[in-house]
Amino acid sequence: MNLDEFKISVAEKELPLGLSVPLAALWWDAKGDWARAHSLVDELETKDGMAVHAYLHRKDGQAANADYWYQRAGREFYRPALAAEWEALAVALLSGAK
């Protein structure tokens, strides 16, 4: 799946099969369900999961909590627009997906 296909899939009712948990969280976030997205990565102890977790806290206005998760993910953060960050995360995760 590429980024365009991933974005189009957000219009569907069902989560596409085969998405990683961090990608599924981004999918639910794009559908406007922050709580469901957060619940998927809340205790996910992977670098990708922690990066999406950080993004979600930033989106929710919790900068200090977001910074904590960015550090845990081992990422430097330069504060792009939220939409640009979502897209960058999706592209990176999709490129690693099978």
Task: Find the domain containing 34 and state its range.
Answer: 30-98
In a domain? residue 51? yes
> Does any domain span residue 70?
yes
Is 5 domain-assigned? no
Total domains present in the chain = 1
Instruction: Give residue 55's pLDDT.
Output: 96
| 38-69 pLDDT, tens digit each | 999 999 999 999 999 999 999 999 999 999 99
Q: Mapping DSSP to helix (H, G, I), strand (E, B) and coil, where does residue 25 land?
A: helix
pLDDT, average across residues 2-9: 96
15 within a domain of the structure (yes/no): no
Specify if 80 maps to a domain.
Answer: yes
Rounded Cα gap, residues 55 and 66, in angstroms = 7
Q: How far apart are CA 95 and CA 39, in angstroms?
A: 23
Domain contains 22: no
* Cα separation of the two ends of the chain: 9
Quick one: pLDDT at residue 96?
A: 84
Domain annotation covers residue 18: no
Task: Answer yes or no: is 67 within a domain.
Answer: yes
Length of the chain: 98
Residue-wise pLDDT tens digits, 15-38: 999 999 999 999 999 999 999 999
